[in-house]
Amino acid sequence: MKATQEKEADLGNSSIGKLLFKLALPAILAQIINVMYNMVDRMYIGHIADVGPSALTGVGVTMPLIMAISAFAALVSMGGAPRASIMMGKGDKETAEKILGNCTTMLVLMAAVLTAVILLFGKPILLMFGASDNTIGYAWDYMSIYAMGTIFVQISLGLNAFINAQGYARTGMLTVAIGAVCNIILDPILIFGFDMGVKGAALATILSQAVSFVWVLRFLTSGKSFLRIRKGYLKLSADIILPCIGLGVSPFIMQFTESIISVCFNTSLLKYGGDIAVGAMTIMTSVMQFSMLPLQGLTQGAQPIISFNYGAGNIERVKKTFRLLLASSLVYSTLLWAIAMFLPHVFIAIFTSSAELSAYVTWSIRIYMAASLLFGIQIACQQTFIALGNALTSVFLALLRKVILLIPLIFILPALLPDKVFGVFLAEPVADTIAVTVTGILFLREYKRLSHKKVGMD
């Protein structure tokens, strides 16, 4: 490693506890800040005079499309970044930079395709996703503007993973923080000051992402980064990009299926509970993001340590990092569960001042997040499979919770229970409990075999 890398984090030699804290804390802060992009929009939108609840529900319907955009960034970056870390652990900087260059090109191509698809077909997609006659206007006002900033989202999210993968956690945090601060400042100015309403919230978001976009590109093309974007490595090569996409399928499924799940929840709740149930799901989705994204920040801090040391053959450091990651994740997820169960108004008051909607969320969130304390096990194990380059197992686990369990349960449980809305919300904790049990069993076997496995990429 060059000095620039060592100044940020000595992935192969520093104390695991200090190293995980050094990398994870900025990553966690970055994830919390990242949540603020959408949460701040919803906070302001929910308090727009007269139309706040309807506007909030309309923007909530756009979340599947927004999550899909993020998922495509993860398809490339969350597969490419761990592979780059493993190559750095092996001392192969050239291949690591080829991975970075190929992933950059793929992110640009995907951004162009996604922008075209949303602008051409976005409105009917939003109607299919659960928008009603009362909310489609707000949904399309937001999404039609947001789509124009897809390139900024893809690059800022996608390439920031490569900054974190090198151990530059503070720089990765600043990528998100700069954009979030811009968003917080611009939201009230554009929504209320210029009386743009929902359109103002969308414009504030893409302008903020544009600032993050510039920040990321400047860093990864400068001498401050150990890995740099080089013109000669931008040309796509199947040998480089396909393994990245293969490993990225798991985080892609995890994020993309959130879009599908959101559609399933919204359509079922609209059928059984009306717009107020969809509005409640919008708030609970925001709370769930708050629960999951900081955990993802913790695993992002652990990922370069695990991947680098796995590539270097330091198996004991890999195992020690995982044990610390698991314990930390469980503490956090248990804390979030306790707040949701006993102090739900801490979350609810952020998004709405409507007494009717607040009352609805108060009982439903306790059902929806009943098993959220188990997230610590799920995400620590699943993300470690990715950090180790184990694509097949991580893909299976992503499919298990979302596709095999949760989506069918959203429709099965309401058919079996007299309270249909209760049945829809109950699908989440039932799926979580089964998925965590299977994940824990599979990883226990992997953990016992880890010291006997041949180091390398699957």
User: How many angstroms separate the CA atoms of 305 and 80, rounded?
Assistant: 15
Burial profile 265-291: b = 16 or more Cβ within 10 angstroms, e = fewer: bbbbbbeebebbbbbbbbbbbbbbbbb
Identify the three-state secondary structure at position 45: helix
Each residue of 219-229: pLDDT tens digit?
999 989 999 99
Long-range interactions of 330-334: CB distance < 8 A, separation 24+: 330/373, 330/376, 330/377, 330/380, 331/376, 332/294, 332/295, 332/298, 332/376, 333/291, 333/295, 333/372, 333/373, 333/374, 333/375, 333/376, 334/373, 334/376
Per-residue pLDDT, 5: 42
pLDDT for the residue 52? 65
Residue-level pLDDT at 56: 76
Q: What is the pTM of this model?
A: 0.70
CA–CA gap between residue 80 and residue 94 (Å, rounded): 14
Which range has the worst mean pLDDT, 18-32, 93-107, 364-378?
Answer: 18-32
CB 409, CB 371: distance < 8 Å: no
- With 70 as the cut, is the pLDDT of residue 256 above it? yes
pLDDT tens across 344-390, in order?
887 787 777 778 888 888 899 999 999 988 888 988 888 888 888 77
Note the pLDDT of residue 36. 65
**What's the chain's average pLDDT?**
84
Q: How many degrees, rounded to 5, is the angle at CA 347 between CA 343 and CA 351?
A: 145
pLDDT for residue 113: 96
Alpha carbon distance 1, 317 (integer Å): 18
CB 301 within 8 A of CB 24: yes
Query: Domain extents for the chain?
Result: 16-236, 249-457
Among residues 84, 398, 82, the alpha carbon closest in space to that of 251 is found at 398
Half-sphere exposure of 431 (CA within 13 A, CB side): 26
Chain-centroid distance of CA 397 in Å reads 16
What is residue 84's predicted lDDT score, i.e. its pLDDT?
92
Query: Residue 456's pLDDT band (boundaries 50, 70, 90)?
Result: very low
Least-confidence region, from 107-121, 185-199, 249-263, 298-312: 249-263
Instruction: Considering only residues 238 and 192, tell me which one the structure prediction assigns the higher pLDDT.
Output: 238
pLDDT at 230 over 70: yes
Instruction: Give the total residue count for the chain.
Output: 458
Q: Name the amino acid, one letter, at 173.
A: M
Range with the poorest average pLDDT among 281-290, 354-363, 424-433, 439-448: 281-290
- DSSP codes joined into one string, 171-195: HHHHHHHHHHHHHHHHHHIIIIIS-
Q: At what angle do helices 198-220 and 16-45 cross, to 10 degrees?
A: 150
Q: Which of 67-81, 167-181, 403-417 has the highest mean pLDDT?
A: 403-417
What's the pLDDT at 125?
Answer: 87
Sign of CA pseudo-dihedral 160, 164, 165, 167: positive
What is the structure's pLDDT at 366? Answer: 92
* Residue 195: per-residue pLDDT: 82
Radius of gyration of the chain measured on its C-alpha atoms? 21
CA dihedral (165, 170, 175, 180) positive or negative: positive
Q: Which residues of 365-401 are buried (b: 16+ CB within 10 A; e: fewer)?
A: bebbbbbbbbbbbbbbbbbbbbbbbbbebbbbbbbbb
pLDDT of residue 434 exceeding 70: yes
Amino acid of residue 309: N
Q: How far apart are CA 244 and CA 142, in angstroms?
A: 32
Say if residue 216's pLDDT is above 90: yes
Burial class (CB in 10 A: 0-12, 13-18, 19+), 71: buried
pLDDT reported for residue 50: 64
What DSSP string runs through 214-275?
A: HHHHHHHTSTTSSS---GGG-S--HHHHHHHHHHHHHHHHHHHHHHHHHHHHHHHHHHHH-H
Query: Is residue 406 pLDDT above 90, yes or no?
Result: yes
pLDDT reported for residue 234: 94
> Stretch 64-83: mean pLDDT, rounded?
87
